[in-house]
Amino acid sequence: LTGDASHPDAASRIASGVLTGEIRDLARAITLVENGTERGRAILRTLFPRTGRASVVGITGFPGTGKSSLVDQLTSAYRSVGKKVGVVAVDPSSAFSGGAILGDRIRMQRHATDSRVFIRSLATRGNFGGLSKATRDVVDLVDAAGYDPILLETVGVGQDEIEVIEAADTIAVVLVPGLGDDIQAIKAGILEIADLFVINKSDHPGAERLEKELTGMLSLGGKAGTIPILRTVAVRGEGIEELCDQLTELQALARKDGSAEERRRKRSKDRFLALLRDRLVEKALDRLGAGNTFGEVVDGIHARQIDPHAAVDRVLADLNLSDDS
Ligand SMILES: Nc1nc2c(ncn2[C@@H]2O[C@H](COP(=O)(O)OP(=O)(O)OP(=O)(O)O)[C@@H](O)[C@H]2O)c(=O)[nH]1
Ligand SMILES: [Mg+2]
């Protein structure tokens, strides 16, 4: 199938379809990649040199803070200046709720007939590492299809979600008034990743207080004045223009001071290491299956019959990767 380029399902044909902006080919490529197929990998391989052009904007925050509403508004704003907009919504919780993505569909309905807006939701596969890998691959495909910017929405600010959002060049963390003590709980993670804070639902009481708390938090972290804080009312489109301007400014700054390049280089490194780790572990565990099973090795360590270092040495020897091999 992959060999004959004229075949409608051939990887090379789908890849050219993606490059010329064929939406159906892009959707098929994503499905092939999501399902971990060899054809999906072939498509990615072909397209990889044509990626890295889109500016990826990450929108993250607690459930229900208005991320999708903001993405919807941003989409309109970017469309009005002629941009072709990609939206990738990653929803680690959808395996349980399912409703969030449906809600997004309804929310984004007005863009559904716009051929210059591409929207794709990614659900969890029960494995967060897998989700961040899939996100990067999907972003690459949307990028190769010429969408720029790509808006990446993901719920939450836990460690696993941070891995997902690290596929973005610029990260907006969305908060809402009335979080109360929650701000304490989230500060560790978001201080590190936020390039910009959005206080959405500013029509609710407490926006001012939240902004003060955030400012205080930032000065404690030595970041006072370096991270913009914006107020929006997404449902009314208020503050969206400022948000767009701010994003553009941050992107320009990051390009100028080299931090954009630095971040992308780190991403290349992380991506390579994560894949290498996954593949090596997969191979090692396959090899284990032939002698001791994974469970038996764990049992052995648990019973103190073999120490964990020796267990790993043994697996590495099986893979011909011992220090002395
Ligand atoms: N009052 C008010 N409501 C808003 C605002 N922005 C969004 N909402 C409402 O908040 C609810 C959640 O909005 P979403 O955009 O779905 O939030 P989300 O962060 O994408 O939610 P999840 O993806 O489920 O985490 C919806 O009912 C919106 O209409 C706002 O600025 N003010
Ligand atoms: Mg949402």
pLDDT digits (tens, 9 = 90+) for 238-291: 999 999 999 999 999 999 999 999 999 999 999 999 889 988 988 888 887 766
Q: Span 143-155, mean pLDDT? A: 95
Residue from 59, 62, 68, 101 to probe ligand 1 pocket by mutation (most atoms less than 8 Å from CB): 68
Which residue's C-alpha comes closest to atom 28 of ligand 1? 66
C-alpha–C-alpha distance, residues 314 and 194, integer Å: 43
Q: Span 17-32, mean pLDDT? A: 95
Q: Is 239 in the pocket of ligand 1 (CB under 6 A)?
A: no
List, in sequence order, every beta strand (DSSP E) within the chain.
56-61, 85-91, 117-123, 150-155, 170-175, 196-199, 229-231
Q: In terms of pTM, does the model score above 0.85?
A: yes
C-alpha–C-alpha distance, residues 108 and 228, integer Å: 27
Q: Span 225-232, mean pLDDT? A: 93
At residue 309 the predicted structure's pLDDT band, cuts being 50, 70 and 90, is: very high
Helix or strand or coil: residue 210?
A: helix
Q: Span 38-43, mean pLDDT? A: 95
What pLDDT does 122 receive?
85
**Ion ligand 2 neighbours, Cβ < 5 Å:** 67-68
Q: How far does residue 212's CA lie from ligand 1's centre (Å)?
A: 22
User: Lowest mean pLDDT: which of 60-64, 111-115, 291-295?
Assistant: 291-295
Q: How far does residue 123's CA lie from ligand 2's centre (Å)?
A: 12
Distances (CA, A) of 278 to 8, 17, 133, 281, 285: 32, 30, 10, 5, 11
Which residue's C-alpha comes closest to atom 30 of ligand 1? 201
Indicate the average pLDDT of the chain.
86
Residue from 210, 235, 236, 242 to probe ligand 1 pocket by mutation (most atoms less than 8 Å from CB): 235
Span 181-219, pLDDT tens digits: 556 556 567 667 899 999 999 999 999 988 988 888 888
What pLDDT does 157 receive?
59
Which residue's C-alpha comes closest to atom 17 of ligand 1? 66
* Ligand number nearest to the C-alpha of 234: 1
Q: How far does residue 64's CA lie from ligand 2's centre (Å)?
A: 7
Residue from 69, 75, 233 to probe ligand 1 pocket by mutation (most atoms less than 8 Å from CB): 69
Is the pLDDT confidence value at 101 over 60?
no
Residues 29 and 15: beta-carbon distance below 8 Å: yes
Is the pLDDT confidence value at 318 over 90?
no
**At 292, which amino acid appears?**
N
With tokens 């708390």, the residue in question is 213
Atom of ligand 1 nearest to the CA of 100: 24
Q: How far does residue 192's CA lie from ligand 1's centre (Å)?
A: 24
What pLDDT does 286 receive?
84
Q: For the chain, percent helix, then strand, then coil, each to nearest 5?
A: 55, 15, 30
**Residue 21: which residues within 8 A CB-CB, separation 6 or more?**
145, 146
What pLDDT does 205 receive?
92
* Ligand number nearest to the C-alpha of 65: 1
What pLDDT does 237 receive?
96
Q: How far does residue 102's CA lie from ligand 1's centre (Å)?
A: 14
